[in-house]
Amino acid sequence: MCRMQCVCVENCPMDCLKIEDAKFHGDIQTIAYMADPNHCIGCGICAKVCPIRAIVMKGVN
């Protein structure tokens, strides 16, 4: 589950990912989401840098 350490957003070479306030309560304050899937090149950097493995790339080890 995404927990607001925004290294995926900072490292995306295509600027696909954005941060927004979560729409639910609890300890999660922010979530990352795919804002521009048409420009995603499938590099997998976002999945590699996420410290809690919140992003899973299908077909990428």
Judged by CB under 6 A, the number of residues near ligand SF4 is 24
By C-beta, is 24 or 42 nearer to ligand SF4? 42
d(CA 15, CA 35): 9
Q: State yes or no: residue 22 binds ligand SF4 (CB under 6 A).
A: no
Q: Estimate the share of the chain in helix, then strand, then coil, as percent rounded to the nearest 5.
A: 20, 15, 60
Q: State yes or no: residue 35 binds ligand SF4 (CB under 6 A).
A: no
* Among the listed residues 23, 33, 42, 59, the single contact to ligand SF4 using CB under 6 A: 42
